[in-house]
Amino acid sequence: MKSFDLHVPVGPESAPGAGEPAVLRAAAAATGLAPDRVGTVVIRRRSLDLRKRRQPQWVLRCDVFQTDEVPPSGALPPLVRPWRLGRPLPGLHPIIVGSGPAGLFAALQFADAGVRCTLLERGAAVEGRNLDVRDLRAAGTLDPESNLCFGEGGAGTYSDGKLFTRSKHPLVREVYERLVALGAGPQLLVDHHPHIGTNRLIPMVRRLREALLEAGHDLRFGARVDDLIVRPGSVRPTVVGVRLQDGTEIIGGPVLLATGHSARDTYAMLARHGVALQRKDFAVGARIEHPQALVDAVQLGDLAGHAAIGPAEYFLACQVPGHDDGARGVYSFCMCPGGFVLPTPTQAGRLNVNGMSNSNRGSGFANAALVAQVRAHEFWLERPGDLDADAEFGAHVAGGALLGLALQDRLEAACFESGGGGCVAPAQGVLDFVAGRDPVALPERSTYRPDLRLARVDRLLPSRITRALRLAMSEIDRRQLRGYLSQFGVVMGVETTTSAPVRIVRGDDLQSISHAGLYPCAEGAGYAGGIVSSAIDGMEAARAVLACHSSVTMPVAAAVRPAV
């Protein structure tokens, strides 16, 4: 067996499989073998090279086996992979708060170890959550506990389902394999930029719930955690349980906190307990929608509409000059080819937006946020004293660690008011946004529901952010994506939840540095972003718990195996 990079011309159909004649011919040419000596070809990685638009190619990293060699088994491990049999570890009953990727994959790690846990989710299971999302998009009716951010699967359930990560962590492969076991499709193991789509994520989450229940876990929905139960200690206090909104107390521990970036009431509760928190950089801006055909034409040229290539993506980034605050980074975030723009508030009287795609990316529109960096030392509004006015998120709380939450809250309140209520989003043409003028019209069609309203989105954001976005849009149109500034582009406000503006400080053992028994993890704790990295951080937190409570050595991540 030898490994080769094979170059296969893009055909009229979808990506090539290992047994197709074009792949076998390329393997023979690369190895110098006669065609009848090429046995099995195993594709390990697949990407698309469009640098020569008239000669697009698939680049396949392959293991090539001759006819007299035995290829590896194509069998993949099961979803749950028990490594410790026998009685549960004494005195260990983990409590996981949040059922996003971090919470669910932490629960899988405990299932592997034969340790039962309680998983608490403030929102609904996906069946009920789908109905709540439908009502939100159709009529602007918000359930603060079950929506596009809260509920089974977390915020990532309603997203493009991007699974690409630059991380070289050894657990990346395991995350992918478990998702394939849930029904993601084997192409996930080889595609360079894999994605799933909301329509496939929802049934996968349901199957994962069934597996966790079968493993003996206690899953509770509509179970919002309002407080920690803390026992004083000689060195530092210890978290020994949680209290739910209905007064129910669950004693056990440790507590894995995997709440995501939108649970602002949780941050306020942690601050009241004196949990160590600190400010963290994040970004704010607006979501911009264009016709997908425009993006395809710019990105793909003559290849636009090619069935094997699909809707084009983009990633935009630049540095723009500031006045007294130095250069500011501006970048696109959560790009959704063929996607939809969604209302993603979690509180009445507030509005922010985000995006999602289904697996076919077939809406006919492309959207992405364009956001500007907000550095931790400069959390501001526009009027002195604004941040001090909020009882929970003011400058006097947690040493100013929650100032970013105050900024998010005020921007979302202004967005809601500008839209006129009912989750109607304020919108402005990109040309009007850049020119700083009143909008006069919007395109006839948009994917946003329930509705759009003409408004000065440029006035909703802090002036330094608006200035940075305007400079970046002009730069992007000149150098990166021609047509970005056109009458077809719409700016919808506001985008505030690119990541958490707070970090829950933890030590090398992944416990809070101020409270024993508290394991903050993933995006809400400020340590990950996206589905895969959040899942890995949840797995690492669970492994840290098991290592702390057992002398049994945890299995290391398996070496990367050839894909099938």
Q: Are residues 301 and 447 in the same domain?
A: yes
Domain limit, last residue, from 468, 495, 522: 495
Same domain, yes or no, for 230 and 325? no
Q: Where are the alpha helices (DSSP H) in 375-462?
A: 403-419, 430-435
Query: CATH code at 201?
Result: 3.50.50.60
Q: Say whether both 399 and 316 belong to one domain.
A: yes
Cα separation values, 426 from 206, 391, 452, 542, Å: 35, 28, 6, 42
Tell me how crowded residue 553 is: count the other CB atoms within 10 A of its CB: 8
Tell me, yes or no, whether 297 and 414 share the same domain. Answer: yes
In a domain, 423, yes or no: yes
Are 153 and 236 part of one and the same domain? yes
pLDDT digits 0-9 by tens, 238-287: 999 999 999 999 999 899 999 999 999 999 999 999 999 999 999 999 99
Confidence bin at 86 (pLDDT 50/70/90): low
Report, as an integer, the average pLDDT of 117-136. 97
CA separation for the pair 186, 296 (Å, rounded):
27
Say which residues have a Cβ less than 8 Å from residue 528's Cβ, sequence separation at least 6: 102, 521, 522, 534, 536, 537
- 72 belongs to a structural domain: no
Say yes or no: 255 and 365 in one domain.
no
- Amino acid, single-letter form, for residue 359: S
Whether residue 557 is predicted with pLDDT greater than 60 in this model: the reply is: no
Whether 318 and 451 map to the same domain: the answer is yes
Query: What pLDDT is attached to residue 529?
Result: 87
- Give the Cα separation of 377 and 278 in Å (integer): 11
For 153-200, what is each residue's pLDDT tens digit? 999 999 888 888 878 899 999 999 999 999 998 889 998 888 888 999
Task: Return mean pLDDT, the chain.
Answer: 91
Same domain, 265 and 293: no
Give, in order, the Cα–Cα distances in Å from 428 to each of 283, 289, 431, 487, 500. 20, 11, 8, 10, 27
Q: Give 486-502 pLDDT, tens digit per residue.
A: 999 999 999 999 999 99
pLDDT at 165: 84
Instruction: Say yes or no to pLDDT of 359 above 60.
Output: yes
Under 8 Å between Cβ of 200 and 357? no
The whole domain housing 9 covers: 2-66
pLDDT, tens digit, for every residue of 127-164? 999 999 999 999 999 999 999 999 999 999 998 888 88
Alpha carbon 318 to its chain centroid, in Å, reads 22
Overall number of domains in the chain: 3
Rounded CA separation 495/503 (Å): 20
List pLDDT tens digits, range 33-64.
999 999 999 999 999 888 887 788 999 999 99
Torsion of CA 404, 409, 415, 420, to 10 degrees: 180
Burial class (CB in 10 A: 0-12, 13-18, 19+), 162: buried
Could you tell me which of 92, 89, 117 has the C-alpha nearest to residue 103?
A: 117
| Residues sharing a CB contact under 8 Å with residue 343, sequence separation 6 or more, in sequence order | 136, 137, 140, 148, 351, 352, 353, 423, 425, 448, 449, 450
Q: Determine how many CB atoms are found less than 10 A away from the CB of residue 347.
A: 17
Pairing of strands 38-49, 95-97: unpaired
Is residue 502 domain-resident? no
Q: Residue 534: inside a domain, yes or no?
A: yes
Residue 87 falls within a domain, yes or no?
Answer: no
Cα 223–chain centre separation: 23
- 171 and 52 share a domain? no
Q: Are residues 261 and 290 in the same domain?
A: no
Write the single-letter amino acid at 191: D
Query: Tell me, what DSSP letter sits at residue 512?
Result: B
Residue 210 lies in a domain: yes
Is position 244 within any domain?
Answer: yes
Q: How far apart are CA 184 and CA 207, in angstroms?
A: 11
Burial class, 546, CB count within 10 angstroms (exposed 0-12 / middle 13-18 / buried 19+): buried
Same-domain check for residues 222 and 119: yes
Q: How far is CA 375 from the centre of its chain?
A: 21
Pseudo-torsion of CA 64, 68, 69, 73, nearest 10°? Answer: 100
Q: What is the dihedral of CA 46, 197, 265, 347, to 10 degrees?
A: 150
CA distance 414 to 416: 5
Q: Do residue 273 and residue 208 come from a single domain?
A: yes
Percent of the chain exceeding pLDDT 90 equals 75
